[in-house]
Amino acid sequence: MVALTVSDWTNISVAIGTFLLAVATYSATSVARRSTKEAYRSRVDAWAPRLVVLDLEVQQGLEKPETITEGNFGFANAGEPIEVAGIGEGKLGMIAVLEIFNDGNASAYVNLIRPPDVDIKGVAYLGSEPGRLEHFYDSELIFLQRDTRVRVNLVWRQPAISWSEEPDFPNRLPTRIVRVQMCDTLGSVLDTCTVTFGGYGLMPTPSKPGGWNVAPRDLRMVISNGVLNTFQHIGACARSYPKELAGNSWWRQLGGSKRSQE
């Protein structure tokens, strides 16, 4: 065994001290950054908009094409017979009504990220006079001032023959997922909420082999296993801070100088 000299012990002590100092500095820096980040988020939350999805409801009946060749749409009530062979690739649409509220302190843009077969059928502002500034809907973005609600009609369209070919009937309801996103006009916050809706569009006609009727939302009276022909679920909302990840902009917005960052 090699005996350590006084110089060796001194070097070891210096190395340990340097390591402990580095750990302490890193810990202090991490705490400071975390505190600064929390302060930034609190500051942004105080003035930012906030997404609340108030309601989601699948409607009775289906939208249907008036003719095979034209793009106009009529409506078929629950229980109405549908000639699937006659409509063929003509599309039937399931309608779901979504109600969104801006519960924050600033105006916001709402974007609905949808599957290709889900469209926005209509947008209606609630509880305010028509023609006001918040009544703005363009390029699939909905402008929503604070304390304002909007009702969005979503329609899931697919060919009649596709509605009649659900392989798991009546064991698993077909559904579609839509992501609701709300951001402020500066892009400092982004709230996201996932909503899911669906159900069977058509059901076999018991008295007519090969026949189809528009499925009611409640099939418990016509299907022996008592399935409820509606799925509507509103997920929890999550908030992110896009600018927080953009080059420490959260520090700059709190007043950090360029010199302090260098």
d(CA 78, CA 61): 5
Highest mean pLDDT among 124-128, 136-140, 200-204, 234-238: 234-238
Does 167 or 241 have the greater pLDDT score? 241
Q: Which residue has the tokens 């005996």?
A: 3
Q: What is the pLDDT of residues 115-152, one digit of tens each?
A: 999 999 888 888 665 545 444 555 578 989 889 999 99
Q: Which amino acid is at 214?
A: V
Check if the beta carbon of residue 233 is closer than 8 Å to that of residue 195.
Answer: yes
pLDDT of residue 157: 93
Residue 262 has pLDDT above 50, yes or no: no
pLDDT of residue 250: 35
Domain coordinates in residue numbering, the chain: 48-244
Check if the beta carbon of residue 195 is closer than 8 Å to that of residue 169.
Answer: no
Work out the average pLDDT over 195-217: 85
Contact residues for 83 (Cβ-Cβ < 8 A; gap 6+): 212
- Picking from 20, 115, 46, 81, the residue whose alpha carbon sits closest to that of residue 203 is 81
Work out the average pLDDT over 29-43: 67
Residue 70 has pLDDT above 60, yes or no: no
